[in-house]
Amino acid sequence: MKIATLQLAPKLGDVEGNIEKANALIQSSKTLSVEEGKPDILVLPELALTGYNFSSLEEIKPYLEPAGDGPSASWARETAKRLQCKVCVGYPEIEKDSQNPDQATCYNSLLIVDETGEVIHNYRKSFLYYTDETWAAEGQVERGYKELEIQEKQVATSFGICMDINPYKFEAPYTKWEFATRVLDSQSQLVILSMAWLTLLGREELDTLKHKPEMDTFNYWIQRFWPLLQKKMKHEVDIDGTKTTVSPKKIVIVFANRSGEEPSAGETKPPARYAGTSAIIAVTQKPTADSDLDTDSSSDAELPLDVKILCWDLMGAGEEGICFADTTQDPKMVFAMKKSV
């Protein structure tokens, strides 16, 4: 499977300008051309075309879109048809009450359209960051799973938006691993994360990392998927259609983050800085000499697994452009789990 993310630094509230930037980045990339081998799926960051750092419902209200009907949806449809791939784009959603048109609920959402431009799924962020809580309601966790038809195969896919991979409200125990556990329980082969992940680094520090990933952020993301490194994966066919009985099991994870610095709309709080570092990885498992991945086990105890993390692409903290992976090809980097002494 060929997967791409578009890492960009959108300007808050400048939807038209952000669309122009997104189109320019895509057009300048040979990777995202039909001639060079188009992607099967393109993933954009959280609130990709509106910007993220809104401080209230009043500030974000002009940019709210009904699901499948608005600038973000139109852009996704046009891009999906042009590239002949599925497109996932983060956007601010408004859903009006059919019984009372004056009432509405807002969500931080991820819209998925297919190659024909048809909307095939709409996921709503379920674990809200404090910035979201000023205007958005929690979505349903159950909507975070769907089988996508890619290359005539059904790919079990889990969807998340940024804070979803953290403990709920940062109140749940760090080791609860809610999102990662759902990935395992659903036997997902693919995980798609649309993000506006912040960094604590200052502007000068980020400038020095423009073309280098922020490894503290990358390492933290990996930590939030710790159950995938500990517990046996249950799916029988991998993302590329290979039976797991003849190869290591793997789950592909797409981190589609944004970059740049963004002031708040009302200038009521400090600017937000984003970590970039978009990545496409896979966690792989194969049995060690004293284990068998195909033996059923209901135990939550650690299993003797040979675990590696494959990384096809990893972007810099301040970059804008395309992060790309062909999961049938060898990765650029391989990280092995090191046993503690």
Task: Give dist(CA 173, CA 59) in Å, integer.
Answer: 33
Helices 15-27 and 71-83 cross at an angle (nearest 10°) of: 10
Task: Give dist(CA 267, CA 280) in Å, integer.
Answer: 34
pLDDT at residue 38 in the model: 83
Q: Which residues contact 172 (CB under 8 A, 6 or more apart)?
A: 178
Can you tell me which residue has the tokens 């903290």? Answer: 317
pLDDT at residue 127 in the model: 98
- Kindly calculate the radius of gyration of the chain based on its CA atoms and give it in whole angstroms: 19
pLDDT at residue 135 in the model: 97
pLDDT at residue 100 in the model: 82
Domain-located, residue 38: yes
Lowest mean pLDDT among 75-79, 164-168, 238-242, 276-280: 238-242
Q: How many CB atoms lie within 10 A of CB 329?
A: 9
Q: Is the pLDDT of residue 338 over 70?
A: no
> Domain total for the chain?
1
Q: Taking all residues of the chain, what is their mean pLDDT, rounded to a whole number? A: 91
Domain-located, residue 48: yes
Amino acid at 89: V
Q: How many CB atoms lie within 10 A of CB 66?
A: 12
Domain-located, residue 341: no
Sign of CA dihedral 302, 281, 235, 110: positive
Quick: pLDDT tens for 217-273: 999 999 999 999 989 998 988 888 878 776 789 999 999 999 999 987 666 677 899
* Span 206-213, average pLDDT: 92
Q: How many CB atoms lie within 10 A of CB 268?
A: 10
Q: Give residue 297's pLDDT band: very low, low, confident or very high (50, 70, 90).
A: very low
Lowest mean pLDDT among 34-38, 187-191, 218-222, 284-288: 34-38
Quick: pLDDT tens for 47-96: 999 999 999 999 999 999 999 999 999 999 999 999 999 999 999 999 99
- In a 13 Å sphere around the CA of 109, the CA atoms on its Cβ side amount to 28
The 3-class secondary structure across the chain, one letter per residue, is CEEEEEECCCCCCCHHHHHHHHHHHHHCCCCCCCCCCCCCEEECCCCCCCCCCCCCHHHHHHHCECCCCCHHHHHHHHHHHHHCCEEEEEEEEEEECCCCCCCEEEEEEEEEECCCCCEEEEEECCCCCHHHHCCCCCCCHHHHEEEEEECCEEEEEEEEEHHHHCCHHHCCCHHHCHHHHHHHHCCCCEEEEECCCECCCCHHHHHHCCCCCCHHHHHHHHHCCHHHHHCCCCCCECCCCCECCCCCEEEEEEEECCCCEECCCCCCCCCEEECCCCEEEEEEEEECCCCCCCCCCCCCCCCCEEEEEEEEEECCCCCCEEEEEECCCCCCEEEECCCCC
Domain enclosing residue 330, as ranges: 2-336
Task: Give dist(CA 149, CA 14) in Å, integer.
Answer: 33
CATH number of the domain that residue 25 is part of: 3.60.110.10
Task: Report if pTM > 0.85.
Answer: yes
- In a 13 Å sphere around the CA of 170, the CA atoms on its Cβ side amount to 3
Question: Where does residue 37 fall: left (phi above 0), alpha (psi -120 to 50 degrees), or beta otherwise?
Answer: left
Domain-located, residue 89: yes
Please say whether the beta carbons of 32 and 39 come within 8 A.
Answer: yes
Lowest mean pLDDT among 180-189, 266-275, 296-305: 296-305
Q: Is the pLDDT of residue 293 over 70?
A: no
pLDDT at residue 296 in the model: 46
Task: Give dist(CA 228, CA 181) in Å, integer.
Answer: 8
Can you tell me which residue has the tokens 């991979």? Answer: 165
pLDDT at residue 339 in the model: 57
pLDDT at residue 51 in the model: 97
